[in-house]
Amino acid sequence: MTAGSSPAVTVAVPRPPVRRRMAGVVLVALCAVAVDAISKVWARRELADAPVPLGPLELRLGFNSGVAFGIGAGAPGWLVLTVTGLVLAALLLAALRLRPWPAAGLVVGGGVANLADRASDGTVTDFLSAGWWPTFNLADTFLVIGVLWITVHAWRADPRRARTHPTK
């Protein structure tokens, strides 16, 4: 160590208790489900006649019988629901350990919203179209944002969940 420099100090970032994290995940998930459900009701009512141009996106009503972005559209409904439910259950279990928990709530909420939509009539209502990508909905958006958030956080986080800060 050179003169005038300070030793590095490892500071553990505290995690909220499991119950508080889970409550936060559930709260964010419920908000995502509610916003998505309202948007899908609106889309079915307002976009049934014609699409609405909206800058780089177009509001265009569509229905997806596949798992994600139309993949597996020919699969039996029970299989699609089973696969979706199993993935959602795994995400919910992982949410207990994930950090940041709001991102886990977005992933779980997006998954629950699409599962609930699919369970009602075998399809998921989509209405956001970029033209070059399959039509999607707010639940898909929540899922992608949550996964990206978790990925960036994991990429930047120290494996021991601690950060090294020099003392002043």
Catalytic residues: 126, 140
| Distance between CA atoms of residues 54 and 88, nearest Å | 32
CA nearest 138: which of 35, 46, 12, 59?
A: 35
**Contact (CB, 8 A) for 40 and 108:** no
Question: What stretches of 13-109 adopt beta strand conformation (E)?
Answer: 52-54, 57-64
Q: Which residue has the tokens 């992982």?
A: 94
**Contact (CB, 8 A) for 54 and 127:** no
- Angle in degrees, CA 111, 112, 116, rounded to 5: 120
